Chain A
Amino acid sequence: MNFNRKHLLGIRELEASEISHLLDTADSFRDVSKREVKKVPALRGRTVINLFFESSTRTRTSFEIAAKRLSADAINISVSTSSVNKGETLLDTARNLEAMAPDCIVVRHAMSGAAHHLARMGKAPIINAGDGSHEHPTQALLDALTIREYKGRIEGLKVAIIGDALHSRVARSNVHLLTKLNASVSIAGPGTLVPDEFAELVDNGLRVERRIEDAIEGADVVMILRIQRERQQEAFFPSMREYAVHYGLRMDHLKRAAPDAIVMHPGPMNRGIEVSSEIADSSRSLILDQVTNGVAVRMAVLYLLAGGARNDADEKGH
């Protein structure tokens, strides 16, 4: 099995076997970050551009470290220093960057579909690092890698996703990935943030719950979503305090989950709102493991997409 796509735009269009191949490859890349010399020559002489139109600490750093550990040159462009401030369109910016012959462009943008737009109009392989409320494929992959690491599998697990699904590209990518790999997913939050129609996102394997307790019942994995204040132009709930009371995850909720349930959060965390500090800092919480696995996942994706020649030469022997 191989991964022969030019771009990574979302999880929805991937086959289960492609997802598994990405995860297996990422598994092998974990080793590189544990070495004293954290660098392999696989992408020597290649250039990766990180084009970020939204603020990001984790994802941008993670892509940059991943590129550097593969010996690629990583160039970071963030919106505050770019000519977007001078009125340039997204496509013009991308075309100008392409004129400098990068081997891959990693893009994050507030508009859903931004990465698809660049993939359709441009030449370079595009990796979607988050487009609006649409998809964030590398986040779903690193979550899956973390689940596999602790649970040994995805298939048959019960996963509860709690919080602001409406605005969450992390939720969408995760729902696609987990259901493709045959986990059963419940998603819970207030009706304004988890509308009933959300269940139609995939053909089967997804349930919408109103009460956080119902979603968590027997769950092997609890994924908490960040309240995305920056995407909420209207009032989706009365106050942060009220949200925290009804939908903030606390230790007593976890009693309903499987005894060895794990807790995940894509970061950045709003402590005391969607998750209590007690949980965030407990041994159940894999939040930092997720970050570690993020580098391995992005190395795998860059290796598979930015590697170069796209013909079908055979593998070379001895």
Chain B
Amino acid sequence: MDFLEKARIMDSARINRALARLASEIVEENHGAGDLYLVGIRRRGVPLAERMADKIADLEGDRPPVGVLDITLYRDDLSTVGAKPIVNRTELPGDIESRNIVLIDDVLYTGRTIRAALDQLIDYGRPRRVQLAVLIDRGKEHRELPIQADYIGKLVPTKKSEIIKVMLQEFDEEEGVVIVERPATETT
């Protein structure tokens, strides 16, 4: 797969600043960190949630609990994909009942991942409120479900042929966000 890098839209410092702003927005909206519970969506939502929890701890003194959601078993395309996607563990320590959950993912695109995450979350309990924070929002025109983010690191209008690649030091060699172009022959 030869992806063509078109633009570098965030570096490590910008990601850090965006997360700091999101953390303070989350704390402001939820009147502190008291009932907050962050849930990272595998894979890249998880380190983002951890970093966000650190920043909230810096602001408020309390570090909210961080859970990990693997949405594989809730995907709506399981019966159409060929090779079965790898199932990883979901870990939601403690109780999510009556908590203010903030779901965290790297990119919001069609909204289908978030739909799966919401369904899964409800199987674990009844949170008081669920909000969504993403590092990159690719824009409403790509949405296939009525789902919007409450906290957005950066809004990046993109074409369908483009892919947003979020690289984080926890998984990747470097850190940053780039737009790459998909080779014309491939389909979504």
Contact = CB atoms under 8 A, between A and B. Distances in A.
A24 B84 CA distance: 13
B81 A42 contact: no
Nearest to A28: B87
A310 B89 contact: no
Given A31-B90, A37-B124, A308-B79, A315 B85 contact: yes
A310 B138 CA distance: 31
Contacts of B73: 32, 40-42, 70, 303
Interface string A200-214: 000000000000000
Nearest to B88: A28
Interface residues of B, number: 34
A198 interface: no
Contacts of B85: 315
Given A37-B124, A40-B73, A312 B82 contact: yes
Contacts of A25: 86-87
Contacts of B138: 318
B108 interface: yes
A309 B90 contact: no
Contacts of B75: 316
A307 B73 CA distance: 11
Contact of A307 (B84, B112, B123, B125): B84
B72 to A, nearest CB: 8
Given A28-B87, A31-B89, A318-B107, A40 B80 contact: no
Interface in B36-87: 70, 72-75, 77-87
Nearest to B108: A318
B91 to A, nearest CB: 8
B170 interface: no
A57 interface: no
Contacts, number: 79
Given A35-B123, A318-B113, A304 B74 contact: no
Contact of B109 (A32, A40, A45, A317): A317
Contact of A318 (B84, B88, B109): B109
Contacts of B74: 40-42
Interface string A30-62: 011001110111100110000000000000000
Interface string A1-35: 01110000000000000000000110111011001
B110 interface: yes
B78 to A, nearest CB: 6
B120 to A, nearest CB: 8
A28 B138 CA distance: 31
B82 A310 contact: yes
Nearest to A32: B73
Contact of A316 (B77, B86, B87, B107): B77
A30 to B, nearest CB: 8
Contacts of A31: 89-91
B119 interface: yes
Given A35-B123, A37-B124, A308 B80 contact: yes
B149 interface: no
A283 interface: no
B10 interface: no
B89 A304 contact: no
A313 interface: yes
B46 to A, nearest CB: 15
Interface of B: 70, 72-75, 77-91, 105, 107-110, 112-113, 119-120, 123-125, 138, 163
Question: Lowest 8 A-B CB distances belong to which pairs?
Answer: A318-B109, A308-B79, A40-B73, A312-B82, A42-B73, A37-B123, A28-B87, A2-B83
Given A28-B87, A46-B79, A317-B163, 20 more contacts: A2-B83, A25-B86, A28-B88, A31-B91, A32-B73, A37-B123, A40-B73, A41-B73, A300-B87, A303-B73, A304-B84, A307-B84, A308-B79, A310-B82, A312-B83, A314-B81, A315-B85, A316-B77, A318-B112, A318-B113
Interface of A: 2-4, 24-25, 27-29, 31-32, 35-37, 39-42, 45-46, 70, 300, 303-304, 307-318
